[in-house]
Chains A and B, each alone.
Chain A
Amino acid sequence: GAVVSQHPSWVICKSGTSVKIECRSLDFQATTMFWYRQFPKQSLMLMATSNEGSKATYEQGVEKDKFLINHASLTLSTLTVTSAHPEDSSFYICSARENSYGYTFGSGTRLTVV
């Protein structure tokens, strides 16, 4: 089946630094990938839709300058959390749509900002 690889699975960083999270579709091409954020005991909230070769579409309330998304190829999308602060600590998950299997999710990245 379709597989999406997400790295790193967890990261701890100091406040004020930037963190990059990668999302790769391993055996299919994904023209569109999605980035979600999950707060403890809450559902997944869509942050942005990443389109290959064009600018990402951000959901209302998501700071595009803080959460930089790059979708440079059909198999790779990256999310960079810039100048991270403790309130950015969360679980971030990417997904991609593969026609035969629907939406496939990465394993997620737990970000802790100290």
Chain B
Amino acid sequence: GDSVTQMEGPVTLSEEAFLTINCTYTATGYPSLFWYVQYPGEGLQLLLKATKADDKGSNKGFEATYRKETTSFHLEKGSVQVSDSAVYFCALSAASGGYQKVTFGIGTKLQVIP
């Protein structure tokens, strides 16, 4: 079945540091790829998405590029802020049994210290 593998956290960075959270996937067909963010005590919010190979999703300074050849969708940000502290989930959406099914990675906790 489909699966998403992402690095386990926590990842601790100083403010203004460069962020990379790795994500790789396995899926049949051509899935859409997503990054979701979960702030403490809240639900998930869509951060960015890409629907086909070589697409780059971007939002709030975060970027991720859909790499079909390496089956990856790594999340990057050039300069993190304390407010970016949250749990980040990589996910894919693919057709399964007549509907779209979303598969999540385990989530990576990011802690940004001043």
Residues A50-98 near B (CB distance < 8 A): 57, 93, 95, 97
Q: Which residues of B contact A107 (CB under 8 A)?
A: 42-43
Question: B45 contacts the other chain (Cβ, under 8 Å)?
Answer: yes
Question: Main SS of the interface on chain B?
Answer: strand
Residues B24-45 near A (CB distance < 8 A): 32, 34, 36, 42-45
Q: A46-B102, A105-B46, A108-B43 are in contact. List 20 more A-B contacts (CB 8 A).
A: A42-B107, A43-B106, A43-B107, A46-B101, A46-B103, A57-B97, A57-B99, A93-B44, A95-B44, A97-B100, A101-B46, A102-B46, A102-B49, A103-B34, A103-B93, A105-B36, A105-B44, A105-B45, A107-B42, A108-B42
Binding site for A on B (CB under 8 A): 32, 34, 36, 42-46, 49, 89, 93, 97, 99-107
